[in-house]
A and B are shown apart, each in its own frame.
Chain A
Amino acid sequence: MLKLTKMASDNKVPVVTWLPVIGLAWLVPGGGHLLLQRRSRGLILFFTIMVTFLAGLLMRGAMFQWKTGDLFTTLIYCGGYLADLSSGILYLFTVWMGYAQDDVAGHVHDYGTKFLVGAGLMNVLAMVDAYEIATGKKE
């Protein structure tokens, strides 16, 4: 246990090393990789997440609002809101420019909502990857 704690403290990376990477990776999908000179991966992530998000938007997917109530309502709405928010600038521009749709009935709208959430979750994966690269856990 002592050995593990010592190893963890030896491997501690300063916050200033990874925080800007995480911040940029959240704001611009693939931005963290671009900052770390992983250009091709950053660009592929950017375009893939952008395509997913735009497809969701063009299918008139709804953006989740922060809403609490019973357990499932809280899980779905708060989880969906956090996932939408994870898209960074894509989410912010959509809300600021008034493209966020209300939740309406219809299967295409429903696919769109899932695409928007999926884009945010993909960006979370990209952020974790950028963090691991910034802290030296990964090439």
Chain B
Amino acid sequence: MPKMNLSHMEASILFALCASIVLGLVTKRTDRERLMYGLYCFACFVGTLFGLGWLMYFGHG
């Protein structure tokens, strides 16, 4: 079985994408609401990723 080596960033983006798709699909009732909520979740994931990244960067000095 081949091994996949993803960086933290790549793994986080892939997980954010998959989780956003599922969250958008199962929580809303219309296709438009699903799309918008999926995009919102993805933006929140990525925003948190960058926010925490910078926080750790400054935290470590």
Contacts and interface: CB of A to CB of B under 8 A. Distances in A.
Task: Please classify the interface of chain B as helix (H, G, I), strand (E, B), loop, or mixed, using the class held by over half of its residues.
Answer: helix
Interface string A114-131: 110010001001101100
A interface secondary structure, majority: helix
Contacts of A58: 1-4
Given A58-B3, A58-B4, A138-B29, A51 B18 contact: yes
A18 interface: no
Interface in A91-139: 99, 107-108, 111, 114-115, 118, 122, 125-126, 128-129, 138-139
Contacts of A139: 29
A24 interface: no
Contacts, number: 60
B42 to A, nearest CB: 13
Interface of A: 41, 44-45, 48-49, 51-52, 55, 57-60, 99, 107-108, 111, 114-115, 118, 122, 125-126, 128-129, 138-139
Interface of B: 1-6, 8, 11, 14-15, 18-19, 21-23, 25-26, 29
The 5 closest A-B pairs by CB, nearest first: A58-B4, A129-B26, A111-B11, A122-B22, A52-B18
13 contacts: A45-B26, A48-B21, A49-B18, A51-B14, A52-B18, A55-B4, A58-B3, A59-B3, A59-B11, A108-B5, A108-B6, A122-B19, A139-B29
